[in-house]
Structure 1
Amino acid sequence: MASLNVYSVLVVLFLTCRAVMATKENDQIIKENNCETKMGLPCVLEAFRSIFERGSISNKCCGELVVLGKVCHSALVKRTLENPLFKDLSLTTITAKNIQTWNHCLAMIDSLSPSAY
């Protein structure tokens, strides 16, 4: 019985440490890449609404999102999901909307790029 309790404590400790490490990893990525300075606030809000609420993202903000880069984008979304305010959101839905927003912006940027002759 005692070994079961020790095992349970170790499992909880492991899961807690993983969550803390994920938070530190995302924060480190964000800091090292200056992610929070690469997009203007209006575009940050558009991207946020596109992923976490109902909304669309403009061509201008898609451009800023693509310049931000996939690494920063993913780290910022993951950090947002770690916030207790967003604990009730469906991870599956947010992940799908995150991918949809990123792919939409990539396609939009590609369609605006001048063709090579």
Structure 2
Amino acid sequence: MAGLYVYSVLVVLLLTCGAAMATKENDQIIKENNCETKMGLPCFLEAFTSIFETGSISNKCCVELVVLGKVCRSALAKRTLENPLFKDLRPATIIAKSIQAWNNCLALIDSPSPSA
């Protein structure tokens, strides 16, 4: 339960402090595509955890991630990496995990559902 609180605080920091520190390019992409409003907080936290920590993304959140779109996913991941709170992370690893999460969700959504 404390973990959820910590992630909630991190998300608030990312959306407030991170916006001021992000590059204009990522900010513009995020603003033009309404990226911060396309995904619910629970799914955002789930995706964030799977990319920046360890975990998986549920089917429901995979749908939200795909609706978010590749451009938004990439811009949000890059903006997060620009935040000083995450200076110890390896950008190449995070970008690779972000792409892997995207590809896994696409494959899950594109696969036919089993018949009953």
Superposition TM-score, scaled by structure 1 size: 0.75
| Per-residue CA distance 1:21-75 (angstroms, 9 max, x = gap) | x710000110111000000000000000010001110000000000010001100
Secondary structure of the corresponding residue to residue 31 of structure 1: helix
Q: How far has the Cα of 1:91 moved from its partner?
A: 1.5
1:112 & 1:60 partners in 2: Cα distance?
15
Q: TM-score, normalised by structure 2?
A: 0.76
Q: Name the structure 2 match of 1:78.
A: 78
CA RMSD in angstroms, aligned pairs only? 1.6
1:48 aligns with 48
Structure possessing the higher radius of gyration over alpha carbons:
1
47-56 or 91-100, larger mean C-alpha shift: 91-100
CA shift for structure 1 position 112: 4.2
Q: Distance in 2 between matches of 1:96 and 1:25?
A: 20
What is the SS of the residue equivalent to 2:111? helix
Distance 1:66 1:98 in 2: 12
Code of the aligned partner of 2:63: G
Aligned to 2:89: 89
Q: Once the 2 structures are TM-superposed, how far is the Cα of residue 92 of structure 1 from its aligned partner?
A: 2.1
Deviations 1:57-101 (A, max 9, x none): 000000000001000110000000000000100122112211110
Aligned residue pair count = 93
Task: Extract structure 1 runs of 4+ deviating beyond 4 A.
Answer: none
- Tell me what 1:3 maps to: none
Which residue in 1 is equivalent to 2:17?
none
Name the residue aligned to 1:27: 27
Give structure 2 stretches of 5+ with no counterpart.
Answer: 1-21
